[in-house]
Structure 1
Amino acid sequence: MKPIHFTEKLYDYLNNEEDARICKDINEDACKYTPRNYFLLMLSNIFTKLGDTLSNPKTVLAWVMSYINAPVYLISFIVPIRESGSMLPQIVIASFIRTKSKRKWVYVIGAILQCASMIGIGYVSLTTEGVLAGWLVILFLVTFSLSRGLCSVASKDVLGKTIPKTRRGRLKGYTVAVSGILVLIVGLYMLYKSNSNTGILFYSYLIFFASAMWLLSAFIYSQVRELPGETSGGRNGWKEAFKRIDIVRSDKHFRQFIIARSLLLCSALTAPFYVLLAQTYLGKESYLLGLFIIANGLASVISAPIWGKMADKSSRNVMAFAAVIASLLGIIMFVLISYIPWARNEYWLYPIAFFVLGVAHSGVRMGRKTYIVDMAGGNKRTDYVAVSNTIIGFILLITGGISAAAAAISTEGIILVLSLFGVAGAYVSSQLPNVE
């Protein structure tokens, strides 16, 4: 009788499997390696999520660019570039990935390039100042985002090939929860350091540490046992890429998902405006950065495993419910800031609001990522991920430009508008077909 390894026991415990292991949507050979791959993917993703937090453009990178006296107009570009830069080229990246029978190596290359890009940003912050430093950071951020696009497409495909349906949401939930604990520790450390004079050296070292997270992730991901899969459609990359845009027109189900995901951007786009509200009414003391990181870490730890289990039952409902939470929060914050003056200066309000927003955003991300992976198999999954991310990349640039030009609208007014879009997103999500 074959001995049962510790990873298999832990996998069965975490996923409530007692007898026959569930192998829905993957073949029997791949199922043999599921427990091992489950924890390798979890550990790799934990490191990348920690790296993402330590180099977050809404917090850390914005602070670094401020320290090196980069122009404000360049600082305003870092969030849209980091997010849309990884999405826009994915429809072409997918054509390249389709030629590979094993796609984990695409992820490994992307993670190493992200590591190199972050090292570049850390070095620039230590040695350069002003306009030149700002443009160099933008340049490295572009290479980082393009590399992130490689990882995004490849990781979802590898996940679909190695982990069965009804287990993918839980994997994401456990990953976010563990990384949330690490983020919480980092936030507490930054809160402690805020009592001393934290200069550019501290934040540069923080970015260097973040770069090491992607290197660790690349090594761990290279150990995943991925069986060869389908290869097709890569001979004429650009031509094949633009052909795939047609699935938005021909596939009604996919088109509905794109509309829902576009409206659900509210949970991500409102985050920096909550930080801006706190800076406006409480000041720009460095402890605020630690408080927001702690709030976000706690949100992940508490909510991610719950969202993950719910997503395995109905990822559509998770998207809708999480969007409702984010939207109601935005509406409540608008009322408090606009009509209840004493609430504006309450120190507890902003971290709590950011915590609730973190819970909602975690649910939106968990729901839509699980939904698109479960929505299709084989190369169709790669196409869905690439096309949807490319379209969302364009929408992010548009909404980012609108937000940058919204000087005439109050910060709380922008939160209200985005929250109303979230209400529409919740409705559209609730109308999507179940895919579990």
Structure 2
Amino acid sequence: MNEAVEKAYAKVTGADDDVPATEARNGLRHVLSLSLTKVADGLIDPKLVLSWLGNALGAPAAVTGLFVPIREAGALLPQIALAGWVQSMEQRKWAWVLGSAGQGIAAAAIAVAALSLSGLYAGLAICAALAVLALSRAACSVSYKDILGKSIAKRRRGAVTGTASAVASLAVVGFALLLMSGLLREQAPVIVAIGLAAVLWLAGSLLFSTLEEEPSERAAASKLDLSPLREDRDFRLFIAVRGLLTVTALAPPYFVMLGGGQGALQGLGALLLASSGASFASSYIWGRLADRSARLVLAISGMCGAAFAALAVLAETLGWATSGYVVPVILFGFMLAYQGVRRGRSVYLVDMAPEDQRSSYAALANTAIGVLLLAVGALGGVLALAGPVVALGGFAVLSLAGGLLALRLRDEKA
């Protein structure tokens, strides 16, 4: 059995035959657990699925507009407070286990709210459940990089996380195709998908609890040390790069504005297909490239994001965006860049952070990015007052700046 596991892990990561058996077993647990939770992420995506569901339930636009900020910033801002708690644990996998279970419970609450409420009350209930989901996700995020660094060797981390993303996105592609088929009606399929997401998060939590984690040195939970922001030049530069590249997460709704005229479920399916298809096509490749140079992955993906945002502006200006296939194709290309940003930033941070400070570095970075995300999101909202073209043009400039600035990062693979 161990030999089969080692061979499977070696095939996934491109590793040699000398991989420790414990790492091979843990690597497959990482892949399977992340695959389950990433499928759940795709099924409940606040930018697409929950926003559509809120509108279908009659929630006010002002309330559904809170879904994405609650989910994105809420998953980042608490991390600086959670880092001390994680560092006080000998086995930090339990923070991830609790976080995944919490997301499952929150998703189940969203499904129940959708079945039993409507209008303003449904929107407020979803907001409350999303706040719990975001806090739970923060616990997963602040602990995972440390767990990954302890259990998987440096040049195989990107392959592990990239494989999980590729597997998960294939499942979401199937869901998107179902929505586009026209066979499904009303909001029932979306509510079922959210219920399935709850089950997947709980299953991922259970599986990850079996990870063989070496005990960490227990540190007293205390106020997080902010000295890396003052003393580590490369860390500050990384935060600046990642802050500029947050536009790759914020831009997709503006692409949707360019491609109006599609049916409700079919339009949701087209966007999900573009997003998950891009993830499936690129996550593993970006992961392997990040194992070689996460710095270059950030630079390339930032520049590509700028190019596709600019192409969307050009398409709208020339009147091409009214064609049914143009915006989805451009969005697919943009989401390729987004996946590169996600993979590059994750691997780079794990590689650059001192081994005993990964949780602190992750929490500091994510808290700073939570603030920057709100600022860039507000900027995008202001630009959008002049139309989605202006917003996408501004995002293209910021993405290009992030890609160019990434070239100044120190190469941690050297």
TM-score, normalization by structure 1: 0.92
Distance (whole Å) between structure 2 residues aligned to residue 213 and residue 335 of structure 1: 40
Q: In structure 2, what residue type is equivalent to 1:223?
A: T
Q: Are residue 336 (structure 1) and residue 311 (structure 2) matched?
A: no
Q: Are residue 199 (structure 1) and residue 186 (structure 2) matched?
A: yes
Residue 24 of structure 1 is matched in structure 2 by none
Q: Are residue 209 (structure 1) and residue 196 (structure 2) matched?
A: yes
Which of these residues, 269, 273, 286, is aligned with residue 254 of structure 2? 273
Aligned to 1:286, the other structure's residue is in SS state: helix
Aligned to 1:167, the other structure's residue is in SS state: helix
How far has the Cα of 1:406 moved from its partner?
4.0
What does 1:54-133 correspond to in 2, within 5 Å?
A: 54-133=43-122
Distance (whole Å) between structure 2 residues aligned to residue 291 and residue 407 of structure 1: 22
How far has the Cα of 1:326 moved from its partner?
0.7
Q: Are residue 357 (structure 1) and residue 338 (structure 2) matched?
A: no
Q: In structure 2, what residue type is equivalent to 1:70?
A: A
Distance (whole Å) between structure 1 residues aligned to residue 142 and residue 203 of structure 2: 19
How far has the Cα of 1:425 moved from its partner?
0.2
Query: CA distance change for structure 1 residues 138 and 207 in 2, over 3 Å: closer, same or farther?
Result: same
The answer on whether the counterparts of 2:383 and 2:390 sit within 8 Å (CA) in structure 1 is no
The answer on whether the counterparts of 1:76 and 1:404 sit within 8 Å (CA) in structure 2 is no
Distance (whole Å) between structure 1 residues aligned to residue 220 and residue 303 of structure 2: 39
Q: In structure 1, what residue type is equivalent to 2:162?
A: G
Residue 7 of structure 2 is matched in structure 1 by 9
How far has the Cα of 1:417 moved from its partner?
0.2
Q: Are residue 418 (structure 1) and residue 395 (structure 2) matched?
A: yes
The answer on whether the counterparts of 2:311 and 2:330 sit within 8 Å (CA) in structure 1 is no
Distance (whole Å) between structure 2 residues aligned to residue 122 and residue 414 of structure 1: 33
Q: In structure 1, what residue type is equivalent to 2:236?
A: R
Q: In structure 2, what residue type is equivalent to 1:20?
A: D
Query: CA distance change for structure 1 residues 407 and 286 in 2, over 3 Å: closer, same or farther?
Result: same
The answer on whether the counterparts of 2:275 and 2:332 sit within 8 Å (CA) in structure 1 is yes
Residue 232 of structure 1 is matched in structure 2 by 219
How far has the Cα of 1:288 moved from its partner?
1.6
The answer on whether the counterparts of 2:245 and 2:399 sit within 8 Å (CA) in structure 1 is yes
Aligned to 1:69, the other structure's residue is in SS state: coil
Residue 243 of structure 2 is matched in structure 1 by 262
Which of these residues, 17, 20, 28, is aligned with residue 18 of structure 2? 20
Gaps of 5+ in 2: none
Q: In structure 1, what residue type is equivalent to 2:3?
A: H
Query: CA distance change for structure 1 residues 261 and 289 in 2, over 3 Å: closer, same or farther?
Result: same
Aligned to 2:146, the other structure's residue is in SS state: helix
Distance (whole Å) between structure 2 residues aligned to residue 292 and residue 389 of structure 1: 27
The superposition leaves residues 125-182 of structure 1 with CA deviations (integer Å, 9 ceiling, x where unpaired) of 1111121221111111111100100011111111010000000011112111111211
The answer on whether the counterparts of 1:126 and 1:200 sit within 8 Å (CA) in structure 2 is no
Q: Which runs of 4+ in 1 moved over 6 A?
A: none
Distance (whole Å) between structure 1 residues aligned to residue 209 and residue 231 of structure 2: 37
How far has the Cα of 1:284 moved from its partner?
4.3
Query: CA distance change for structure 1 residues 324 and 186 in 2, over 3 Å: closer, same or farther?
Result: same
The answer on whether the counterparts of 2:255 and 2:312 sit within 8 Å (CA) in structure 1 is no
Residue 174 of structure 1 is matched in structure 2 by 163
Residue 284 of structure 2 is matched in structure 1 by 305
Residue 33 of structure 1 is matched in structure 2 by 22
Which of these residues, 373, 376, 380, is aligned with residue 396 of structure 1? 373
Distance (whole Å) between structure 2 residues aligned to residue 306 and residue 201 of structure 1: 35
Distance (whole Å) between structure 2 residues aligned to residue 114 and residue 369 of structure 1: 21
Residue 249 of structure 1 is matched in structure 2 by 230
The answer on whether the counterparts of 1:65 and 1:134 sit within 8 Å (CA) in structure 2 is yes
The answer on whether the counterparts of 2:43 and 2:193 sit within 8 Å (CA) in structure 1 is yes
What does 1:379-390 correspond to in 2, within 5 Å?
A: 379-390=356-367
Distance (whole Å) between structure 2 residues aligned to residue 143 and residue 364 of structure 1: 26
Aligned to 1:87, the other structure's residue is in SS state: coil
Aligned to 2:71, the other structure's residue is in SS state: helix
Residue 28 of structure 1 is matched in structure 2 by none
Q: Equivalent pairs: percent with the same residue?
A: 31
Q: In structure 2, what residue type is equivalent to 1:333?
A: A
Aligned to 2:259, the other structure's residue is in SS state: helix
The superposition leaves residues 56-108 of structure 1 with CA deviations (integer Å, 9 ceiling, x where unpaired) of 01111001100111111111111111011011010110000110010011111
Distance (whole Å) between structure 1 residues aligned to residue 198 and residue 52 of structure 2: 17
How far has the Cα of 1:405 moved from its partner?
4.2
How far has the Cα of 1:19 moved from its partner?
4.5
Aligned to 1:228, the other structure's residue is in SS state: coil
The superposition leaves residues 317-362 of structure 1 with CA deviations (integer Å, 9 ceiling, x where unpaired) of 0010011111011112112212x12x12110111111111111111
How far has the Cα of 1:230 moved from its partner?
2.2
Aligned to 1:293, the other structure's residue is in SS state: helix
What does 1:138-149 correspond to in 2, within 5 Å?
A: 138-149=127-138
